[in-house]
Structure 1
Amino acid sequence: MTIRYPRPLRPGDTIGVTAPSAGVATPLHRRLLHAADVVRAKGYDVRLGETPTGEGIVSAPADVRAAELTTMLTDPAVRAVVPPWGGELATDLLGRLDWDALAADPTWLVGYSDVSTVQLPLTLRTGVATLHGQNLMDTPYDVPAGLLGWWEVASAAQEGEELVQRSPRRYRSSGWDDYENEPQVSTWTLDAAGSWLRLDGEDPAAPVDVQGRVIGGCLETVSLLAGTPYGDVARFAAEHAPEGLVVYLDILEWDAFAVGRALWAMRHAGWFDAANAVLVSRTHAPDGDGFTQHDAVRDALGDLGIPLLADVECGHVPPYLALVNGALARVQHGPEESAITQRLVP
């Protein structure tokens, strides 16, 4: 089997906005509408569903969310679906989705956080590429030099084209912008310096240069799919990735002990058997008592004999890489530069 990519976005295409997990509370609707206007300004039509303005832990009952997501992903006029953001309980959709129908005419499913709870199974089960990048509410931000916006990746995604991103080596040290009072904020506050770090026991300055198929998502959600039909990474690697894998993980809020347990569970389920490298996000999540987030990665994965890179821009700490699940990637890291080059090849 080979990886299948949705066709590139073209001017005038429709972008669907649905909320498979959490909706946007009323005080933040101005940000939601502004983000939709920003997408329109990029040359696309926007179809705003009923769920994005839903209140509560989830935007609507599971059947309603599943139906709206399915409608948008299977409508030939909709060429990308970009939820406003993640949430907590997208996992309740997994048994309600017709995966073959979603894969029949592939559409870009874009986002991160709890959106990856649906993205990962879509790629693992069907071989259809998905795009782990900014959510809709992040779209108004200027993309830092060296990175790509989701719309740039989805519109430039010609087969075989190289999509190169380089770490800006700056990040946001804390907090979030006030969307209620500043709904049009468009500049990230990247007030701290920091580069990727090697955690695999090799010389920290030793260069990394590896390749593999990209796969991953938000640790707090996708780790719970390990060992289920929706998180069979080992099967995906056997069917789609003879080159091996580049596994990336976004750590949101679990403390270091929980992260360590999750990584061990994923390891037991075969997530890293075909990995050529593991990328772990920069995180503001807490350490444990004498046990750091980096210790958790070293404890669970340190003896795999592959590069382990931490503080990568693949998590909830801005800014964000745009990573295509299923793409063939080359990861390079050294004292002067850290980069990932993705090619959208079958």
Structure 2
Amino acid sequence: MIRFPQPLQPGDRIGVTSPSSGVPQALWPRLEVATQWLRDRGFEVEVGDCMDGDSSHVSAPAVARAGELQRMLTDPGITAVVPPWGGETAIDLLDLLDWDALAAAEPTWLVGFSDLSTLLLPLTLRTGWATLHSPNLMDTPYAAPEGLAHWTEVAGATGSVTQHESGVHRTGGFDDWEADPSPTAYRLEGRGAWEVASGDEIEVSGRLIGGCIETVHHLAGSPFGDVPGFGQQYAEEGLILYLEAAEASALDICRALHGLRLAGWFEHANAILIGRTEAPASGEFIQREAVLDALEDLDIPIVFDVEIGHVPPQLSLVNGALTHLTVLDNERTITQELG
């Protein structure tokens, strides 16, 4: 059974650690803006030791990063763990974590996206913990646009949460936090809608699971990426898989998706959500064609340009939640049952 962490409330303690890449000193002012944003809303914030972003592509040796993450996730006084951002090699923690201890502990919210998918996905698959794919700590001060819910709202919710297509997305690239660490509003000048590849209208339900294609596809066939087994466990309800490309070329994404298909990730899928992406084409071969090349023949509804991943804004998606997806001419919603 999926186990949901206790709802996040003012007064709760939030742990901050960097299980992948740390924060360079030049960006610590943005980190301080983000932690203060949480404190201003009544949360206590504990910043861990594994935060160095200047010495390497990781914040600390793998053993230290795994130990700090494990401690925070199993500390009953910490309600949520929110890393500053993703990185490159969170995969090196997977065989260092004590999965039996995590499975025996009361669940804690683990929050983030990008390379953090490498941890979110196995945590749900192996322990039954619900995990939260959403903006990371450094993005936390940004306001969610109309229709979307801020991750603190979803982590604090009971019952169900419904989010709507926002119809907008970021343009103009990332904010320069080194020059100005204070932004709290995305530049959302782009326009776009969720689009079913077949042109059909759909209403489907299933258990939600997914992440960043570049990181999670390496887990297929390992003990940490048994999505086919998760699908069998929830075969009666089926799955809704969500995937997003960060920066890999269309041909790389195509190969990765074919690999996931061959590994059985889509056998129990009722729908596949594909995040809006700015990842590059491979010559004339574009990202949408990469998805269709790998997945179109599965005869599963594919929904493009969903607010997932590296093009803000972002839906807050709970891995493991029973989810109801509606894509009609006059309604585009995703409702998650949190419990």
TM-score, normalized by the shorter chain, greater than 0.5: yes
Q: Matched residue of 2:308: which SS?
A: coil
- Cα deviation 1:40-76 (Å, max 9, x = unaligned): 1111100001112442200111001001101100111
Matched, 1:155 2:159: no
Contact kept in structure 1, 2:52 and 2:60, CA below 8 Å: no
What residue is the counterpart of 2:121 in the other structure?
120
Aligned mates of 1:73, 1:210 — CA distance in 2:
33
Aligned mates of 1:305, 1:299 — CA distance in 2:
12
What residue is the counterpart of 1:342 in the other structure?
336
Out of 275-284 and 326-335, give the one that drifted further.
Answer: 326-335
Choose which of 315, 318, 323 in structure 2 pairs with 1:324. 318
The one-letter code sitting in structure 2 at the alignment partner of 1:188 is: Y
Q: Matched residue of 1:314: which SS?
A: coil
Aligned mates of 1:254, 1:15 — CA distance in 2:
32
Choose which of 229, 232, 237 in structure 1 pairs with 2:226. 232
What residue is the counterpart of 1:292 in the other structure?
286
Q: Using the aligned pairs only, state the percent identity.
A: 53
- Cα deviation 1:178-209 (Å, max 9, x = unaligned): 1112111101100111111222xx3x2x3111
TM-score (norm 1): 0.95
Structure 2 gap segments, 5+ residues each: none
Aligned mates of 2:125, 2:10 — CA distance in 1:
30
The one-letter code sitting in structure 2 at the alignment partner of 1:276 is: N
Aligned mates of 1:163, 1:177 — CA distance in 2:
29
Point out 4+ residue stretches in structure 1 off by more than 6 angstroms: none
Aligned mates of 1:168, 1:106 — CA distance in 2:
30
What residue is the counterpart of 1:145 in the other structure?
146
Contact kept in structure 2, 1:213 and 1:241, CA below 8 Å: no
Q: Matched residue of 1:339: which SS?
A: strand
Equivalent residue runs for 1:64-213 within 5 Å? 64-103=64-103, 104-156=105-157, 158=158, 161-199=159-197, 202=198, 204=199, 206-213=200-207
Count of residues in Structure 1 that have an aligned counterpart in Structure 2: 337
Matched, 1:283 2:283: no
Contact kept in structure 2, 1:3 and 1:240, CA below 8 Å: no
Equivalent residue runs for 1:18-97 within 5 Å? 18-55=17-54, 56-97=56-97
**Structure 1 residue 316: Cα displacement:** 0.4
Q: Matched residue of 1:315: which SS?
A: coil
Contact kept in structure 1, 2:33 and 2:182, CA below 8 Å: yes
Contact kept in structure 2, 1:29 and 1:53, CA below 8 Å: no
- Cα deviation 1:278-312 (Å, max 9, x = unaligned): 00111001112221111111111101112101111
Aligned mates of 1:338, 1:41 — CA distance in 2:
33
Residues 22 and 298 (structure 1), Cα distance of their counterparts in 2 relative to 1, 3 Å cut: same
Aligned mates of 1:84, 1:162 — CA distance in 2:
27
Aligned mates of 2:254, 2:137 — CA distance in 1:
31
- Cα deviation 1:98-138 (Å, max 9, x = unaligned): 11212311100000001110110010111111000010000
- Cα deviation 1:238-290 (Å, max 9, x = unaligned): 12453000000021011111111000100111100000000011100111222
Structure 1 gap segments, 5+ residues each: none
